[in-house]
Amino acid sequence: MGRAVVIPAAGARAGRRRSLPDYRHQRQRRPRPLSAARGVHAAAPLGRGTLVGPDRLLRPGGTALDEARRVIADLVSLRDAPRSKPRLRILLWALAICIVLGAIEFGEPLDDTFKAARDILRSRPASGEIVVIGIDDRTGARYGGFSFSRRIDAKLVDKLFAAGAERVFFDRVYADETNPADDAAFAAALARHPGRVFLGAISPPGESQERVETLPRPQFRKVAPYRSLNGGNTPFMLSAKLAFADRFEGKLVPSLSSEIAGWPVSAKGYYRPDWSIRMATVPTYSFVDVIDGRVPKLALAGKDVIVGPTSPTLRDVYPILFQGRFAGVYFHVIGAETLRAGTPRDWGWLPPFGSAVLLSCLFLLAQRRLTRLLTIAVALATFAALPVFLASRLIEVDVFPALLLVAIVAYRGFSLARVEATRRTNPASDLPNLVALIESEAGDAPTVIALKLRNQAEIVASFPNDVARALIGEVERRLRVAGGSDQLYHGEDGLFWTSRQPVSDELLQHLRGLHKLLAQPIQLGDRSVDLLTAFGIDGSTDRPLTSRIASATLSAEEAARANEIWKLYDPQRNHAAAWQLSLMGRLDFAIESGELWVAYQPKVSLPTRQIVGMEALVRWNHPTAGPLNPVQFIAAAEAHNKIAALTYFVLDRALADLAALHAAGHMMGVSVNLSPKLLEESDLVERLSEALARHRVLPSDVTLEITETGDLLSVPGSIETMQRLVATGVKLSIDDYGTGNATLEYLARLPSHEVKIDRTFITDLDQNRDNLILVRATLEMAHRLGRHVVAEGVENEEVLRLLQKLGCDIAQGYLLSRPIPFADLLALLDADSAPDRVRLVIS
């Protein structure tokens, strides 16, 4: 509701196959068993030149001029940003990404693939010193399955030792009980060869108290030691790892491969077998052939033998990339041969990653493309060849994070180089642009010269085809022939160059000569055209290059307007223009930093004596100039195409505050000023709708006040845009009515809801009879057209009562309230009518 107006005074069992673990997140996490099947496991005539122009400001903060600002506005930040910053950002982002991926071993599958490829390069056969006795399909067929009597196992043990085997290892656990007699026979065979027969044992990953260990039966453990069969596959089963040792019954027990290799075990851990050893070359004989005596003794004599399942039926078969699928028993053989060759070490991803960081830094610091290419070549060669060499020394490294870092840095670095080349080149001529000039080392040159091609646009527009490039090319050719400059720069408003010759009669005579040369007709296609030119000169070396470019540009503009050959920049003129420009240069920062803020002036309904709305008015507290006159900076914003940013800032703040008022129970609307220029913006309606939705404000609570100082009926599409605005539900108001181009047609055609009579007719309404007649007529006409009328500039009570008597709908002015901050407005709406704080205005 409105409020009467008051004004502030101031584990698994043996014989059951286990799934293999994915341990990509923890390199030393215990893998699960490699296999298991019943006890089996495995893993522009001119006048004379004159002086012009300023650059020093009346007040601090500005460094450029009005006409030149559009040329360099987007260049200052490029100059100020060191060349290294984007490269540093590339490196830091790439480092962050790769470190995270390396830490979680995200690239382990790719590293496994790289390692497998290196293994192929180093491929070699097995030594033949370890023999596999396979429990194959023939064995299953002979004994009616694979759960055959342990007497047969006992017989196998005796025959192996009889053939001269050195030691016998079983890739089986023998944890379950079978026929007592058979078990006894097997135990007896084990006892006959003490310390030479080893059984298997498995356990699940982890160290929990519920951990179940699968061990051989006690009667077998008494006569034969057991060894760990634990191991596991890497992600996607591309490779496998085996344990050095594991804990069983509270003590450290070597793995089967460690025992075979005679590896001294002092701690748990896992290693990657040397998969360059081809499993297909491991000597293998069938279980039944040993039983039947068909295996030559020389094949077994003095060798270690591993007995384990090789039949696909037992599903104890696992893949190794580029080798194929093999039974788990072969994994133990390759593990043992690896340990016999030396100490397997896993350096992980950090050593190659450190090398990649160094190479990436060298790449980003390189100035020449060839140097960058060579750096990438060195990186690729290093990460391709060095791991192969290390692998031959049983040292494994993970290169995925390093390769990824080099790839990201190379891609982003080359992209940045292309962007920088594009950023420093004018596509209309392929000449360096002003960015290249600003970033060059020409800042200390005594003279900066700008050449404005005064009628370039007219020439280009008169041809059916694009002749801009040919025109610029001919101008460039003539300048070079005349020795104008070693390096020309093509900007939006013409050509630029620097000269080591200070401003002097000699330089000015040279420019007159260039002007005569360029005034000669230029042949473009089948037509001859005359080019009009003007030069701008800046000879002040005590200012930044960007400011000097702006000064030269402004001087050229002045020379063109004065129809002169050249103008020399004079820093003692146009101070006001410079100050205005400095304000616009600071506008965006002022919005972001809070220098700009929104004040609200209450609008009072005369019939109800309640505050029914508020007008949002922008204010600027400049850090050095103090509070600025809104007329000053709003007009500047209009002139410099900054009005959109200013308007949307006010709109967004007003909607946010209106939503807060509604939430506090103060239901009213808000008015926001809208420049007629914005009616030409194609996205005006969409941005307004988006802001309304974002702040959850009803369109009917918003009034857009459009000044009628310009002829809105002549602006293309203005009526259509206004109709689209009305269609969204917002209200339109004709602001400053009576001061501009308003006609009866104007008032009738514009889809407005409200007419706001300008303060020049209201302030002395009680003393000026002519204004009284005009206001009365306006009120009658607007009401008959269905418009509400707002009177602004109410400064005394007599005017207020007169407006009420005339039937005016809403009043606004200093009598009622000056524009106040939102917090004060909220306090005004919330406060009680205490005599020391408020007074009634309408009685």
Nearest to 504 by CA among 568, 444, 561: 568
Please give the pLDDT value at position 3: 39
According to the per-residue pLDDT averaged within each range, which of 40-49, 60-69, 324-333 is highest? 324-333
Q: CATH 3.30.70.270: which residues of the chain?
A: 426-574
Instruction: Tell me: pLDDT of 31 over 50.
Output: no
DSSP letters spanning 793-823: ---SHHHHHHHHHHT-SEEESTTT---B-HH
Give the separation between CA 793 and CA 808, rounded to whole angstroms. Answer: 13
Instruction: Tell me: pLDDT of 77 over 80.
Output: no
Give the separation between CA 572 and CA 574, rounded to whole angstroms. Answer: 7
Please give the pLDDT value at position 1: 40
Give the separation between CA 309 and CA 140, rounded to whole angstroms. Answer: 10
User: CB of 665 within 8 A of CB of 705?
Assistant: no
Instruction: Tell me: pLDDT of 65 over 60.
Output: no
Please give the pLDDT value at position 715: 63
pLDDT (average), residues 444-468 = 88
Which range among 218-227, 513-522, 828-837 shows the weakest confidence by mean pLDDT?
Answer: 828-837
* pLDDT band at 482; cut points 50, 70, 90: confident
Please give the pLDDT value at position 831: 77
Please give the pLDDT value at position 717: 77
Q: Could you list the active site residues?
A: 792
Nearest to 373 by CA among 362, 384, 387: 362
Q: What is the topology classification, in CATH, of domain 599-830? A: TIM Barrel (3.20.20)
Please, what is the Cα angle at 222 between 218 and 226, to 5 degrees?
80
Give the separation between CA 234 and CA 116, rounded to whole angstroms. Answer: 12
Nearest to 229 by CA among 210, 207, 248: 248
Please give the pLDDT value at position 58: 30
Q: When comparing pLDDT for 320 and 21, which is higher?
A: 320
* pLDDT band at 787; cut points 50, 70, 90: very high
Which range among 364-368, 672-676, 829-833 shows the weakest confidence by mean pLDDT?
Answer: 829-833
* pLDDT band at 749; cut points 50, 70, 90: confident
| pLDDT tens column, 611-651 | 999 999 999 998 888 898 898 888 888 878 889 999 999 99
| pLDDT tens column, 347-381 | 999 999 999 999 999 999 888 889 999 999 999 99
Total Cβ atoms within 10 A of residue 82: 9
Instruction: Tell me: pLDDT of 16 over 50.
Output: no
Instruction: Tell me: pLDDT of 287 over 90.
Output: yes
Give the separation between CA 823 and CA 819, rounded to whole angstroms. Answer: 12
Q: Which residues of 678-705 are buried (b: 16+ CB within 10 A; e: fewer)?
A: bbeeeebbebbbebbeebebebebbbbb
CB neighbour list of residue 277: distance below 8 Å, 6 or more residues apart: 124, 125, 126, 334, 337, 338
Instruction: Tell me: pLDDT of 757 over 80.
Output: yes
Task: Locate 258 and state its tokens.
Answer: 């460690």
Instruction: Tell me: pLDDT of 477 over 60.
Output: yes
Q: CATH 3.20.20.450: which residues of the chain?
A: 599-830
Q: What is the CATH number of domain 426-574?
A: 3.30.70.270
pLDDT (average), residues 799-813 = 94
pLDDT (average), residues 510-538 = 90
Q: Average pLDDT over the chain, rounded to whole?
A: 84
Please give the pLDDT value at position 574: 53
User: CA–CA distance from 694 to each of 15, 260, 691, 810 (Å)?
Assistant: 65, 72, 5, 29
Please give the pLDDT value at position 741: 60
Which range among 78-87, 299-308, 495-504, 673-682 shows the weakest confidence by mean pLDDT?
Answer: 78-87
Q: Which residues of 293-318 are buried (b: 16+ CB within 10 A; e: fewer)?
A: eebeeebbeebbbbbbbbbeebebbb
Instruction: Tell me: pLDDT of 143 over 60.
Output: yes
Give the separation between CA 23 and CA 353, rounded to whole angstroms. Answer: 21
pLDDT (average), residues 391-411 = 95
Sign, CA dihedral 518-524-528-531, equals negative
* pLDDT band at 485; cut points 50, 70, 90: low
pLDDT (average), residues 504-508 = 87
Helix/strand/coil for 361: helix
Q: How far apart are the first and last CA of the chain?
A: 20
Please give the pLDDT value at position 84: 65
